[in-house]
A and B are shown apart, each in its own frame.
Chain A
Amino acid sequence: MTDITKDAMMPPRSFLSQDAIQVFYRLLAALLICAVLAVLSDSFLSLGNILNVLRQASLTFFIASGLTLVVLTAGLDLSVGANVALSACIAGTVIHKTGSPALGILTGLACGGLVGLLNGIMVTALRIPSFIATYGMLWVLNGLTYWYMAGETLHGFPAGFRQIGSGYLFGLPIPVYLLLVFLGIGTFFAQRTVWGQEIYAIGANPIAARLSGIPVARRLLLVYAVSGTMAGLASIIFLSRLNSAEADIGESLTLPAIAAVLIGGTSLFGGVGTVFGTFIGALILTLVLNGMNLLSVSANWQPLVTGIIVILAVWLDMKTRRRAQ
């Protein structure tokens, strides 16, 4: 690749700094929510609650980080929640049957990745719009999971395996370490590798990306496979945290993941956003839901609030972008 095409694919500097400003605003928003909650509720600032928020946020982040890459290409993956459920149930079965957590983890990741790959094939080879292809996939996976589980609950896993989701290391929950690792990997991949930059280029202008020699279909396949694999990873964490698997565990996961991506400043129209922003997005959403919980608002309100947040986030994003142009 020549230097010229490489330059052309780098986001212009002004964009990067604008990204930084956007992330800064969101950090401020998160701090503001923290301040408000600290005033409203005595238990918010307790160590137990803060660790709980971080652990919850990390679960949302695992799903949302893969989804971020998909949204960066101007696509959407509505099947992530259903993918988590199927992967968790299959991984759980493998652990029960073989007694080997390692094998179960591998199966969960493979199942998630395979589903993601199928999504990618539908979007690239069959050229079905991503939101409708993955929406169809959502229902296929839902049906498969309910059929596979037949109303059963898998339950009781080895103690070592349960450490992944509920254990602590130096006082911090293990999922938080995983969060830091994947935040680092995701940020490095998106910002510092050629493939990552190609993903931005595809989202910003797919035709220009194709004409400048980027293998668009192959990168899209990769992006959907990564999103599926991250759903597989999330399924492992869920499995070990809940110590059980049921067919319906994924139903309340997709909307929060999409909300985290959008709050984090990744544009639905592609090409703009960061994995770090998604982390802040997951944090903000978790803080809001945690705050509602501390103020004893019924959990019945969560879908309503998440729905409003999704719409607000898209609207704000479109407004700031329109002003920037």
Chain B
Amino acid sequence: MREAAVVSRSNPLQRIPGVAIVLVLLITLFTAIAPGFLSVANLSNVLVQSTILTMLALPMTLIIMTEGLDLSMGAVLTLTSLCVAIVSLATKSMLLGLGAGLLVGVAFGLANGWLVAILGIPPFVATLGTLGMAQGLSLIVSDGQSVVGIPHSVRDIYSSTLLGVPVPIVMALVTYAAFHGLLYHTRFGTYIFALGGNREALRYAGLSPNRLLIGVYALGGAMAGIAGLLMTARMNSGHPTAGLGLEFDAIAAVAVGGTSFERGNGWLLGTLLGVLSVGVLRNGLNLISLPSSVQVASVGVLVIVALFLDGLRSRA
């Protein structure tokens, strides 16, 4: 296991074909059938719309690398987005709103980590439970209504630019760089590979796998908090069902990106390409005026195909 992880780390080129081919195929397909797909305006639209997903898919990659899963991410994002909306509305402060979102996100991440690591509950059920809890809390704090009247300072985050680049894209790039540094250039990152590949080795090295695991889930919660700010800014409101199901797009991006669900090796650049694949697929289907229901179904098919191919690879 450990060996497999090392091989894939030293030679990620081995895995470029899968996801890159998917992305190129999708781009070619939609260039051919969707008028206006290849315009600069549309492509930058795809990028901006992929930023929230990037912020969820990167930590999801780390969680899946630990042979875990976080089904609660979309519901937690919904809750943090509502917290950002409510707190920034009450205090007129974007930073306090972000702080509230981060706090709630990290609390849910810690809870997920605690359930999985300390209580030993299988991740998909533990996070299914917290999904219900976050969804319920979203309904309770908002009373099922939208939160409107968000201050400009929050709204501007989504629409303003930095040196000509939209701020959401800058945030996504910074996030990617941070995750890349964390996973490939810190000890914590190396331990994450070991969490999926060889947990015993961590124990023999005198480390606490449980604490590391909680850290990974908490990181996911924190990113859901930051993504919550972007979500609120994008919708210019807080909505009690805004992010439901987004965890599925994140899992899809990770699966398409070539991170294995069973072998504890992951690839961040693959996830980024996976995010773009999901983004291009949804945007392209939208351009040829297929409803969002078809987009959801096709992302589902994309995941099943990716997992099937992953299964073939692991047996090969």
B-contacting residues of A (Cβ < 8 Å)?
76, 78, 122, 126-129, 131-133, 135-147, 150, 247, 255, 258, 262, 268, 298, 300-308, 310-311, 314-315, 318
- Complex Cα distance, B308 from A133, in Å, reads 9
Residues of B82-129 at the interface with A, using a CB-CB cut-off of 8 Å, are: 115, 119-122, 124-126, 128-129
Stretch of B132-140, B205-213, B229-237 on the interface side: B132-140
- Complex Cα distance, B199 from A75, in Å, reads 24
Q: Does B144 contact A (CB under 8 A)?
A: yes
Q: Does B303 contact A (CB under 8 A)?
A: yes
Task: Please tell me if the beta carbons of A304 and B136 are within 8 angstroms of each other in the complex.
Answer: yes
Given A128-B311, A132-B307, A314 and B125 touching (CB < 8 A)?
A: yes
**A interface: dominant SS:** helix
Task: Please tell me if the beta carbons of B140 and A300 are within 8 angstroms of each other in the complex.
Answer: yes
A-contacting residues of B (Cβ < 8 Å)?
69, 71, 115, 119-122, 124-126, 128-137, 139-140, 143-144, 245, 248, 251, 255, 261-262, 291-301, 303-304, 307-308, 311, 315
- Complex Cα distance, B244 from A255, in Å, reads 14
Complex A-B: 30 CB contacts under 8 Å: A76-B124, A126-B308, A126-B311, A128-B307, A129-B262, A132-B69, A132-B251, A139-B299, A140-B304, A142-B297, A143-B297, A143-B298, A143-B300, A146-B292, A255-B132, A300-B136, A300-B143, A301-B136, A303-B139, A304-B132, A304-B140, A306-B132, A307-B129, A307-B130, A307-B133, A308-B129, A310-B129, A311-B129, A314-B129, A318-B121
Residues of B with C-beta under 8 A to A129? 261-262
Task: Please tell me if the beta carbons of A139 and B307 are within 8 angstroms of each other in the complex.
Answer: no
Residues of B with C-beta under 8 A to A305? 136
Task: Please tell me if the beta carbons of B297 and A258 are within 8 angstroms of each other in the complex.
Answer: no
Task: Please tell me if the beta carbons of B300 and A314 are within 8 angstroms of each other in the complex.
Answer: no
Residues of B with C-beta under 8 A to A140? 296-297, 300-301, 304
**B interface: dominant SS:** helix
Residue of A nearest to B122 (CB): A268
Instruction: Give the 7 A-B CB pairs with smallest separation, nearest first.
Output: A307-B132, A304-B136, A143-B297, A146-B293, A140-B300, A143-B296, A300-B139
Residues of B with C-beta under 8 A to A128? 304, 307-308, 311
Partner of A122, one of B134, B135, B262, B304: B304
- Complex Cα distance, B137 from A131, in Å, reads 25
Distance from B241 Cβ to chain A, minimum over Cβ atoms (Å) = 10
Task: Please tell me if the beta carbons of B133 and A304 are within 8 angstroms of each other in the complex.
Answer: yes
- Complex Cα distance, B135 from A305, in Å, reads 11
Name the residue in A138, A140, A301, A305 with the highest tally of chain B Cβ atoms < 10 Å from its Cβ. Answer: A140
Given A128-B311, A268-B125, A300-B143, A308 and B133 touching (CB < 8 A)?
A: yes
Residues of B with C-beta under 8 A to A76? 124-125
Distance from B306 Cβ to chain A, minimum over Cβ atoms (Å) = 9
Distance from B56 Cβ to chain A, minimum over Cβ atoms (Å) = 15
- Complex Cα distance, B248 from A137, in Å, reads 11
